[in-house]
Amino acid sequence: MVEMSGAEALVETLKREGVRVIFGIIGGAIMPVYDVLRDSGIRHVLVRHEQCAAHAADGYARALGRPGVCMATSGPGATNLVTGIATAYMDSSPVIAITGQVNRRSSNTAYMIGRDAFQEADIIGITTPITKYNYQLTSVSEVPRVVKEAFYIATTGRPGPVLLDFPKDIQTERAEVEFPGKVEIRGYKPVTNPHPLQVKKAVDALLEAERPVILAGGGVILSNATPELLKVAEFLMAPVVTTFMGKGAIPENHPLSLGCIGMHGSRAANSVILDADVLLAVGTRFGDRSTGTLDTFCRDAKIIHIDIDSAEIGKNVDVDIPIVADAKKALRALYEVLASRAEKRGETAWFRRVKELKEQYEELLESRDEKLKPPRLLRELRKIIPVDSIVTTEVGQNQMWASLYFKTYKPRTFISSGGLGTMGFGFPAAIGAKTARPDRFVVDIAGDGSFRMTEQELATSVIEDIPVTVVILNNSTLGMVAQWQRLFFDERYVAVDLKGIPDFVKLAEAYGAQGVRVGSLKEFVKAVKEAMRLDVTTVIDVPIPPEENVLPMVPPGKSLKEMIE
């Protein structure tokens, strides 16, 4: 037992949890915590909007596979975190959000919480549906246990954000505290080991399969299961398609990789998955953007579904063989049983078909070559930046071009808001990723509309010396929405024209960053190389035609079969 203030107990627990950096903005109700943080050795990155603190913590977590921490004051600081927390929740990212809260008691011992005190917001009520769990601290002595529980919940099972709401009086009050070695939560016991009988059933199905397909979701990346995934795929010679969140679960230059399925998936992936007789789906929630209409999605295939969240099983798609387990452990068990019962498959007819599809897919990508247009530009970018570079994206056409044309070779190197589709995510997430991986080149593939939502973080990037590069595919429109208006609203354009304002080169310079506008592929390549060499915050403005579509595309409410080319 040691005597401490609540703020000291918080910071001490954060240190014990291995926290090295916190992204945040200070304010009245969180000042005592900052006061302790000042000399704690934990780095604080002062962002310019709390939304970006959450996105940066999220990017940090996704790049590193360890929890990211963000912090804000009560009321508006806390509510500004909301979009970032919801983004992390939808993509199962372990983010710890710490908010200040008004005093529980004022000096005359009356309660303040619940009386609409200055800068009071019910952040527990607000974030309950978008966090895995949240806590409001009620005493100093419980701080170490609660904070430890928060990390435990955020990082185990299906990861997700956890919020800690810290009334100011508990930050300053002093009490005897004890730091527990481990925590027990009676209502939270994530299952991680696969049931042997289910594994056996899955193996039976896979060994009988003529046309097995593996669908890898974000869960494969979250559980660092790429090596195990490859072993199973190569053993079965089964093609691997991914969801958008699973991009990077398999190196996209692997002979068995056919890219992403879904609304903006590759034709190869969308057609191969519909041909499967046995589908092994790992760590995916069968989101609507991935499956297209459900009544045409793998209706005749036997579906094996591995997920650590049992509530995902049967939620969207009926499953034949459920396996509730950690993806890594389940895939390892599958491989062991497979290898004990059969020989590795050779070049089956199915594999030859996959090879054919893969070749067609590559050709198609190549034949779209044109001047300074996104597909070509993204393939050039892949060639010049190191394999382990981290790419983040914004939302819209930029994101889908990146998904289709930028090949990802390693897990945790493609970071994007898949579930919530949050414009403005990519840039702060890049800052978070660079903080986690200072040795890597980090680039945000942006649209001009999205970048404008969080561009003020140029200040953070420059001043905190967290150099990232932003490539703006600048079509002066809200491109993806314009594409929908073109394709599904009779070209009735409304509210999509951004009119080419501002001048992004000048904007970058105003923040002390480097700004370059490029007019050719050659200039683009040069600008990227320069950004890598100088390792300074760089904005590369790439003017592109406003009327480009991202194709292929499965129209909303349609089957994966019905792609527009």
Partner 1 sequence: MTTNEEQTHIIAAIVEHKPGVLYRVSNMFRRRNFNIESISVGPIEPRDLARMTITVRGDEKVVEQMIKQLAKLIDVVKVSRLHPENTVSRELALIKVYSPDTRARSDIINYVNIFRASIVDVSTDSMIIEITGDSDKLDAFIELMKPFGVKEIARTGITALSRGAKSIKIL
Ligand X SMILES: Cc1ncc(C[n+]2csc(CCOP(=O)(O)OP(=O)(O)O)c2C)c(N)n1
Q: Catalytic residues, which ones? A: 50, 118-119, 168, 480
Q: Which neighbouring-strand residues pair with 392?
A: 415, 444
Q: How far apart are CA 52 and CA 64, in angstroms?
A: 18
The only residue of 131, 398, 413, 416 in contact with ligand X, by rule CB under 6 A: 398
Phi-psi category of residue 274: left, alpha or beta, with phi > 0 → left and psi -120 to 50 → alpha: alpha
Nearest to 520 by CA among 394, 384, 376: 376
Q: Are strands 278-282 and 212-216 parallel, antiparallel or unpaired?
A: parallel
Q: Could you say which of 64, 175, 183, 188 contacts partner 1 (CB under 8 A)?
A: 188
Which residue is it, tokens 């998955």? 273
Q: Where does this chain touch ligand X (CB under 6 A) — which range of 170-178, 407-415, 478-486, 556-564? A: 478-486
**232 interacts with ligand X by CB under 6 A:** no
In the numeric block, which tokens belong to residue 27?
């304010």
Partner that binds at residue 396, options ligand X, partner 1, none, CB closer than 5 to 8 Å by kind: ligand X
Least spacing, CB of residue 193 vs partner 1, in Å: 17
Q: In what order do the strands lie in the sheet with 257-260?
A: 257-260, 240-242, 212-216, 278-282, 302-307, 321-324
Q: Based on the shown chain and the rule CB under 6 A, indicate whether residue 397 belongs to the binding site for ligand X.
A: yes
Residues 6+ apart with CB under 8 A from 11: 33, 36, 37, 40, 42
449 binds ligand X (CB under 6 A): yes
Spell out the residues 6+ positions from residue 116 whose beta carbon is closer than 8 angstroms to its own. Answer: none
Q: Which stretch binds ligand X (CB under 6 A): 2-10, 98-106, 332-340, 392-400?
A: 392-400
Work out whether 181 is an interface residue with partner 1 (CB under 8 A). no
17-25, 236-244, 362-370, 475-483 -> range binding ligand X (CB under 6 A) = 475-483
Q: Strands 68-72 and 278-282, how do they pair?
A: unpaired
DSSP of 277-336, one letter per residue?
A: SEEEEES----HHHH-SGGGSSTTSEEEEEES-GGGTTTSS--SEEEES-HHHHHHHHHH
Select the span of 169-177, 250-258, 308-316, 553-561 touching partner 1 (CB under 8 A). 308-316
Q: Does 516 bind ligand X (CB under 6 A)?
A: no
CB 479, CB 548: distance < 8 Å: yes
Question: With binding defined as CB under 6 A, does residue 219 bind ligand X?
Answer: no
Tokens 């002595």 correspond to: 141
Interacting residues of 1 by C-beta distance below 8 A, sequence separation 6+: 176, 177, 178
Find the shortest distance in angstroms from Cβ 129 to partner 1.
5
124 binds, among partner 1, ligand X, none (CB under 5 to 8 A by kind): partner 1
Integer Rg of the chain from CA: 24
CB of 137 to ligand X, least distance (A): 31
Region of 21-29, 325-333, 382-390, 416-424 interacting with ligand X (CB under 6 A):
416-424
394 binds ligand X (CB under 6 A): yes
Q: Is 510 in the site for partner 1 (CB under 8 A)?
A: no
Minimum distance, C-beta of residue 479 to ligand X, in the bound complex (Å): 2
Closer by beta carbon to ligand X, 159 or else 396: 396
Stretch that binds partner 1, among 180-188, 347-355, 367-375, 394-402 (CB under 8 A): 180-188
Q: Which is nearer to partner 1, 97 or 238 (CB)?
A: 97
CA distances from 475 to 470, 505, 527, 544, 549 (A): 15, 15, 19, 5, 11
End-to-end CA distance of the chain: 67
Q: Which does 397 bind (CB under 5 to 8 A by kind): partner 1, ligand X, none?
A: ligand X
Contact 73, 30 (CB under 8 A): yes
Structure tokens, 208: 């009988």
Q: How far is the CB of 136 from partner 1 (least distance, A)?
A: 8
Kindly give the interhelix angle for 196-208 and 327-341, rounded to the nearest 10 degrees.
60
Q: Which is nearer to ligand X, 249 or 468 (CB)?
A: 468
Mark residues 137-156: x for contact with partner 1 by CB under 8 A, - for none. ----------------x---
What residue 481 binds from ligand X, partner 1, none (CB within 5 to 8 A, per partner kind)?
A: ligand X
Rounded least distance, CB 481 to ligand X, Å: 5
Residues that bind partner 1 (CB under 8 A): 124-125, 128-129, 132-133, 153, 185-188, 309-311, 313-315
Residues that bind ligand X (CB under 6 A): 394-398, 421-423, 447-450, 473, 475, 477-481
